[in-house]
Structure formats: structure tokens, C-alpha cells
Amino acid sequence: MSCEHLVCAQCAHPVVEGRCPLCRANRERMHQHGFAGLSPALIALLLVALLLLSLAAQHLLGS
């Protein structure tokens, strides 16, 4: 979910602008996701790369 189209209930401005404390707090809360600062897409990419490396190692050692 993105905060680009959300409007703050307190100041009636876009949350992405962070004009009031509530906007800034919600923007920070929405941007804290993933694991260790990594985005979910990057985590998935790293897992796929790890899977491919393990399959390649298994194929080379199994021959």
C-alpha cells in the first residue's frame, strides 16, 4: 500500500507531504516494511537466487 493517494484526516493534505505530525507518523509507519530494511520484492529475489545456487551446487556435486 502506498501513501501517495491518502489524505490526512487532521490537516486534509496528502499524507505523502507530511505537513502535520499525524501525516509524518503515518508516512513513516507505512514505509517501515520488509526485513532488515529490505523490501519484500528484494527478499523474494534473494530467496530465488539462493534456490538457484543450491540447485546448481547439487547438480554439480551429484554428477
pLDDT for the residue 18: 85
Q: What is the pLDDT along the chain (63 residues), one digit of tens a residue?
A: 566 788 888 899 888 888 899 988 888 887 766 666 677 788 899 999 999 999 999 999 886
pLDDT for the residue 50: 97
Query: How far is Cα 23 from Cα 38, in angstroms, rounded to an integer?
Result: 23
C-alpha cell at 34: 520488509
pLDDT for the residue 40: 79
Query: How far is Cα 15 from Cα 2, in angstroms, rounded to an integer?
Result: 10
pLDDT for the residue 56: 93
Domain boundaries, the chain: 1-32, 35-63
Query: How far is Cα 23 from Cα 7, in angstroms, rounded to an integer?
Result: 9
Which alpha helices (DSSP H) does the chain contain, by range? Answer: 21-31, 40-62
pTM of the model: 0.45
**Segments of 3-51 assigned E as strands:** none
